[in-house]
Structure 1
Amino acid sequence: MGNPIVLHLGDDIKWNHEPYKKLQDKFEIRRSYSMGRDEFKQALKDKKFGNFVAMYRPFWNTGGEMGNWDEELIALLPSSCKIYASAGAGFDWVNTQALAKRGIIYCNAAAACTESVADAAIWLILSTFRKFTWSSLSARSCQVDRFVAANRNIAAITHNPNGHALGIIGLGKIGHRIAQKAHTAFGMRILYHDIRRLPADVEGPLDAKFYDRLDDMLPDADALVVATPFGGDKVVRAEHFGRMKKGARLINIARGKLIDEDALVQALESGHLEAAGLDVHYDEPRVNPKLAAMDNVELLSHTAGASVESHIGFERLGIENIVNFFETGKAVTPVNLHFFDDKAKL
């Protein structure tokens, strides 16, 4: 009998060669490389990869050529598969409940990109308060009149974030790190809404205020950051924009489909919202042209978590999840255990 099989999806390892060598010592590594959905499905039907016990996807932009991991694809996985460890923080592209029904634990890698995403959120927060997009576009236009207009007029309508209230939807690892940076560096007051209240030793250093209901937090927040995983539905809907404080700002570093984008456009056009900062988009990779035309909206190309440090962490954390699971029975960063019964978690 040989070593159990791990199916490595996508590109080669680039940084964590020593940990990967240890994985190779414990498991037989088989590869799918870059494979289209139909080809991948046929390979699973033909048992080309054998009865693998784990899947490992170290990069978010490779190994995903087979498209969404829906019930159709998941149903083809061998019963031997027990864990799927993937790069990236979000997991809206994979049906984690369907994986659980097949007895497969899904692990994300949010911990590896926490610093990068939090840094990007801070940039977006700062930009919405200081109108950096307007200033940057005016300078890049190389047009004297646009430069002069920005230079003369920005000071009258921009603010320092210091002392303002930052409302965060989802105070997980990334949301918490955003709160730490905003509170420590900017002196912002921290408000948050989540499915559960965090312990006093977490709230205390941030002087954070918990809101059980999102509707209660919205009127108090000068800026709202969306930092929660996508659960299949919008979190900020049309009615929520009306409850937000006039002149508030909205920042999204989570998933585009968490926000009613048409309602966001209307809130910005009406002047009810002061500004927005978006790393993610509803119809990604297509960007809403109305948002793109606004000087008070900062747009990124879903790159908040994109850094060398994040990718190094993605590689390493995926390996740690697989090794730890088969050595101890517990994964490091599982996200779908709530779909298992207690017996299946082990």
Structure 2
Amino acid sequence: MASTSGSKPIVLHIGDPVKWNTAFYDIFSKDFTVLRPSLEERQRDAFMKGLKEGKWGNFSAIFRPFWNTGGEMGRWDKEMIPLIPKSCKIFASAGAGFDWADVDILAERGIVYCNSALASTEAVADFAIFLILATFRNLNWCTTAARSSATDFTYCHQNTAALSHNPRGNNLGVIGLGNIGFEIARKAYLAFGMKIKYFDVIRKSKSKEAEIEAEFFTDVDAMLAISDCVVLATPASPDGRKLITKERLSKMKKGSRFVNIARGVLVDEEALADAVEDGTLVGVGLDVHENEPKVSERLKRLREVNLTAHNAGGTLETHIGFEELAMRNIDAVLKGKEPLTPVNKHLIIVPASKIGKVKL
């Protein structure tokens, strides 16, 4: 754990100062030497130059407490990651997603990447419930008509009923039953009495399945075929491959619904618009988009489509949790304990002599 800044490990803090967990940050700053590059130093060229020159010493951790700052250097990729000093053991960041960092390349360097999905679980699940309800009750149509003319109001009032349904008793298909996916399913099961179907690469325990009477599918297409609403709640694939394609949409139940609170890049939005226009989907809820911050013009024009601006995890409680969880991950690893929320731990193969007391 030796560093160029005395005996304390160095933590490279990228982004704005901690705002809420200040008491814990005070302790954190006493246990470790925290260095925070300026905004100018965080621009990609300047940042890479600083890494090459060892400007911040042999730091042991990278700390990013916010998702909307600290990303000025751009993607952590095969160009940038080799510049990280060999002393670095952990990269802990705010946010549930990690598509801005090549976690497989970090793993090759023996660096565990920890996200903060646990801190946003409640907020994202609540938002997903809103989008599920929106797809069943045509809320985009209802809310825009209420803000429009009296004619639009009356037409909506008279015609939405025959196109709207109660979620109760309908099949909810969840792709990715991790912490967030499970909480979405749990809320939908308890609040709406929906029947939970799910696909994941790892099956939940029988006791967890029993909590929500969930049925596990080994074939995602088979699940899509019987789902009245499908929620995408899985991380983006490292290779950028899309999960919801034209072919996969063709497997979905006619007259079903689709909600995405995962990553926009997982969905072919042109194919999604086609599926709405041909009646395969009668309701769509998207909080994330393929080309953020740009939103598909085709999808904007479809009244069956509910669009939000990547707001699902956006609560004060989430921000507070992001800060704390990122610090606790670093605190644990640099004190020889297990990381709390590792993303790429299963990919790391590091000789014991290299990692010392740190267990990855």
TM-score (normalizing by structure 1): 0.98
Counterpart residue number, 1:110: 117
Q: CA offset at residue 127 of structure 1? A: 0.2
Counterpart Cα distance in 1 of 2:188 and 2:94: 26
Confirm or deny that 1:186 pairs with 2:182. Answer: no
Question: Does the residue aligned with 2:85 lie in a helix, a strand or coil?
Answer: coil
Contact 1:169 1:226 in 2 (8 A): yes
Percent identity at matched positions? 50
Counterpart Cα distance in 2 of 1:158 and 1:295: 13
Counterpart Cα distance in 1 of 2:44 and 2:109: 20
Correspondent of 1:40 among 24, 27, 47: 47
CA shift digits 1:154-203 (9 cap, x unpaired): 11110010110000000000000000100000100000000021101100
Confirm or deny that 1:289 pairs with 2:291. Answer: no
Instruction: Write the letter of the residue equivalent to 2:104.
Output: Q
Q: CA offset at residue 279 of structure 1? A: 0.4
Residue correspondence of structure 1 range 226-237 to structure 2 within 5 A:
226-231=232-237, 232-237=240-245
Counterpart Cα distance in 1 of 2:67 and 2:171: 33
Correspondent of 1:63 among 59, 62, 70: 70
Counterpart residue number, 1:318: 326
Counterpart Cα distance in 2 of 1:33 and 1:59: 15
Instruction: Write the letter of the residue equivalent to 2:184.
Output: I
Q: CA offset at residue 291 of structure 1? A: 0.2
Correspondent of 2:221 among 192, 215, 222: 215
Contact 1:223 1:248 in 2 (8 A): yes
Counterpart Cα distance in 2 of 1:168 and 1:283: 23
Instruction: Write the letter of the residue equivalent to 1:291.
Output: L
Contact 1:166 1:222 in 2 (8 A): yes
Residue correspondence of structure 1 range 220-259 to structure 2 within 5 A:
220-231=226-237, 232-259=240-267
Question: Does the residue aligned with 2:80 lie in a helix, a strand or coil?
Answer: helix
Confirm or deny that 1:28 pairs with 2:33. Answer: yes
Instruction: Write the letter of the residue equivalent to 1:99.
Output: L
Contact 1:11 1:33 in 2 (8 A): no
Count the aligned residue pairs: 345
Contact 2:108 2:349 in 1 (8 A): no
Confirm or deny that 1:337 pairs with 2:342. Answer: no
TM-score (normalizing by structure 2): 0.94
Q: CA offset at residue 343 of structure 1? A: 4.8
Alpha carbons of structure 1 residues 342 and 28: separation in structure 2 relative to 1, 3 Å: closer
Instruction: Write the letter of the residue equivalent to 2:121.
Output: T
Question: Does the residue aligned with 1:243 lie in a helix, a strand or coil?
Answer: coil
CA shift digits 1:109-131 (9 cap, x unpaired): 00000001001100000000000
Counterpart residue number, 2:356: none
CA shift digits 1:247-269 (9 cap, x unpaired): 00000000011112111111001
CA shift digits 1:191-248 (9 cap, x unpaired): 0000021101100010000000101101110000000000121111111111111000
Counterpart Cα distance in 1 of 2:38 and 2:325: 20
Counterpart Cα distance in 2 of 1:310 and 1:20: 17
Correspondent of 1:161 among 159, 163, 167: 167
Counterpart residue number, 2:208: 202
Across the aligned residues of Structure 1 and Structure 2, the Cα RMSD in angstroms comes to 1.1
Counterpart Cα distance in 1 of 2:92 and 2:15: 13
Question: Does the residue aligned with 1:72 lie in a helix, a strand or coil?
Answer: coil
Contact 1:8 1:33 in 2 (8 A): no
Counterpart Cα distance in 2 of 1:165 and 1:268: 19
Q: CA offset at residue 342 of structure 1? A: 6.9
Confirm or deny that 1:328 pairs with 2:336. Answer: yes
Counterpart residue number, 1:151: 157
Counterpart residue number, 1:128: 135
Confirm or deny that 1:97 pairs with 2:104. Answer: yes
Using the TM superposition, name which of 157-166 and 232-241 deviates more.
Answer: 232-241
Counterpart Cα distance in 1 of 2:51 and 2:319: 27
Contact 2:111 2:348 in 1 (8 A): no
Runs of 4+ in 1 over 6 A off after TM superposition: none
Counterpart residue number, 1:275: 283
